[in-house]
């Protein structure tokens, strides 16, 4: 029986077939020249003394929890994130299950100067070029759903056109794929994408696999909702935190983001 992750990728493959017919790859490549210069996420994460590094996510809904925000204005949210201390912005572009759109990246790239992550279910070279053509500075690769050679090929294609891949892992097998691919930016996702369950023990466990790998920049994904958790994982070696739901559902996004960076007051739980 197919799980939700399998369903999303299956739908993406059908969608990509339509997109290819409507917008040929040559047209996508031509559009790349119209975009701003790539803003390096690796450089942004290496800057010291600016508080905790938060990759703040724009996410309208999830297949697990439905709509996360009533008044959804992605451009306004992007500006709030940039003004409130985010080191980068993650933007969901998958439409059917997450309510995303590539145009959100295009709009944000013209409005903010920090790096933008195109977060989607990427498995084809066309999507990598598409990421650059919409103004993204880095893109997501989910190790669970790619074989090790696919992962390596897509990561290297990204490098060729100036994009860093955030390689998302969820278990030890994923970590092996990421190491084989030569990932420099490694995400550890605490959410099981097949069930939606979140468990921070995943990061605590998988961080042990990265000991001695000083060349890696590590991103904790999902399940972070308190400043204390960020402080704990920074102590364990995490460099950055990708946070979506806690920000999207916050009564005041700016205040919550500043709390996460360490520059604001601790907000009451709930």
Range(s) of the domain holding residue 218 = 4-33+40-261
In a domain, 212, yes or no: yes
pLDDT band at 270 (very low <50, low <70, confident <90, very high): very low
Q: Which candidate in 119, 152, 177, 256 is catalytic?
A: 119
User: What residues contact residue 161 under an 8 Å CB cut-off, 6+ apart?
Assistant: 32, 128, 129, 132
Among 94, 106, 130, 221, the one annotated catalytic: 221
pLDDT at 31 over 70: yes
57 belongs to the catalytic site: yes
Digit-coded pLDDT (tens) for 49-106: 779 999 999 999 988 888 898 889 999 999 999 999 999 999 999 999 999 999 999 9
- pTM, two decimals, is 0.95
Q: Which of 252, 188, 244, 265 is nearest to 54 (CA)?
A: 244
Instruction: Note whether residue 269 is domain-resident.
Output: no
Supply 143's token pair: 């190790």
Q: How many domains, in total, are found in the chain?
A: 1
Whose tokens are 């031509």? That residue is: 30
Q: Which of 52, 131, 189, 190 is catalytic?
A: 189
Catalytic annotation, pick one of 84, 203, 222, 246: 222
Residue 270 lies in a domain: no
In a domain, 178, yes or no: yes
**Strand ranges, E, within the chain:** 53-58, 61-62, 66-67, 88-92, 116-119, 138-142, 164-169, 185-189, 217-221, 240-243
Q: How far apart are the C-alpha atoms of 146 and 244, rounded to whole Å?
A: 24
Beta-sheet pairing, 66-67 with 61-62: antiparallel
Instruction: Supply the pLDDT for residue 70.
Output: 82
* Catalytic residue of the set 57, 94, 245, 259: 57
- What CA–CA distance (Å, rounded) separates 17 from 252? 40
User: Tell me: the pLDDT tens digits for 128-167?
Assistant: 999 999 999 999 999 999 999 999 999 999 999 999 999 9
Residue 267 lies in a domain: no
Active site residue 221: yes
pLDDT of residue 50: 78
DSSP structural state of residue 85 = T
State yes or no: is 171 an active-site residue.
no
Tell me, yes or no, if 70 is annotated catalytic.
no
Residue 93 belongs to domain with CATH number: 3.20.20.70
């Amino acid at each position: 029986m197919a799980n939700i992750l399998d369903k999303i990728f299956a739908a993406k493959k059908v969608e990509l077939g339509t997109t290819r017919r409507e917008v040929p790859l040559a047209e996508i490549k031509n559009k790349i020249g119209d975009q701003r210069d790539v803003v390096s996420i690796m450089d942004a994460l290496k800057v010291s003394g600016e508080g905790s590094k938060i990759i703040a996510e724009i996410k309208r809904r999830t297949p697990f929890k439905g709509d996360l925000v009533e008044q959804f204005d992605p451009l306004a949210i992007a500006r709030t994130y940039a003004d409130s201390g985010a080191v980068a912005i993650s933007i969901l572009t998958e439409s059917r299950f997450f309510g995303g759109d590539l145009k959100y990246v295009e709009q944000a790239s013209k409005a903010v100067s920090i790096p933008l992550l195109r977060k989607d279910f990427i498995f084809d070279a066309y999507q990598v070029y598409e990421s650059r053509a919409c103004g993204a500075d880095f893109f997501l690769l989910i190790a669970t759903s790619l074989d090790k050679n696919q992962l390596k090929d897509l990561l290297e294609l990204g490098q060729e056109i100036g994009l860093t891949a955030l390689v998302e892992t969820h278990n030890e097998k994923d970590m092996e794929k990421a190491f084989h691919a030569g990932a420099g930016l490694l995400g550890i996702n605490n959410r099981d994408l097949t069930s939606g369950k979140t468990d921070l023990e995943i990061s605590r466990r998988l961080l042990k696999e990265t000991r001695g790998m000083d060349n890696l920049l590590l991103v904790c994904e999902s399940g972070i909702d308190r400043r204390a958790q960020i402080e704990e994982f920074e102590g364990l070696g995490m460099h950055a935190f990708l946070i979506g739901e806690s920000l999207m559902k916050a009564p005041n996004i700016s205040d919550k983001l500043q709390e996460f960076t360490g520059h604001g007051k601790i907000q009451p739980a709930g």
